[in-house]
Amino acid sequence: MRPLRYSINVTLDGCCDHRAGVPDEELHRYAAERLAKADALIFGRVVYEMMESAWRPVARGEYPHGMLGWTVPFAKAIDAARKYVVSDTLQGVDWNAELIRGAELEAAVRNLKQQAGAGLYVGGVTLPLALAEMGLIDEYEFWVQPRIVGHGPSPFAGLSKPLDLKLIGRSEFASGVVILKYEPKR
């Protein structure tokens, strides 16, 4: 059985707006290594479209939006990764992706987890909330940015009941980012 890991950048005040973090080469290198070891990524429509528009061109040698050359290993890792996209509005997906309809979410993710492998990753806000409510996330990884921004979405807003977690790992980076890894207490 392969684990489902949730990973998100979050500021000290709980914002997970992708524009709120401060990207650096060390973090991108670490993220690229993690993605390269994942069996697949599970995205909601919004995250899929955001990641595709940002990283697909970089993986192909284009640098839109002021992307820097040191982002290429991350772009290539996410470009190569198998992806599952949960959406009821998209008619189709490409970029090494397969579509999962919302009504099929729980069964599809349970099936993916039952397969042998190193693990699956999910990010974002809406989809992980649904997966947490279903008890399907095996590991929570918060990339805590040393920044307060005072706005933006927060992960798990609206969770129906508290989820108690146990700290299982911690990594610190020169930028001041601390990655905290937790698993649900069972």
DSSP 3-34: PEEEEEEEETTS---TTTS---HHHHHHHHHH
Query: Containing domain of residue 57, as a range?
Result: 4-184
What confidence category does residue 65 fall into, taking pLDDT thresholds of 50, 70 and 90? low
Distance CA 152, CA 16 (A): 7
Rounded Cα distance between 81 and 36, Å, is 7
Residue 68 has pLDDT above 80, yes or no: no
Tell me the angle at which helices 25-37 and 72-80 cross, rounded to the nearest 10 degrees.
20
The confidence band for 85, taking pLDDT boundaries of 50, 70 and 90, is: very high
| Residue 45, SS3 per DSSP | helix
pLDDT of residue 58: 86
pLDDT of residue 167: 98
Determine the pLDDT at residue 103: 94
pLDDT per residue as tens digits for the range 113-161: 999 999 999 999 999 999 999 999 999 999 999 999 999 899 999 999 9
pTM: 0.93
Chain mean position to CA 42? 8
Q: Is 184 exposed, middle or buried (0-12, 13-18, 19+ CB in 10 A)?
A: middle
CATH code at position 16: 3.40.430.10
Domain tally for the chain? 1
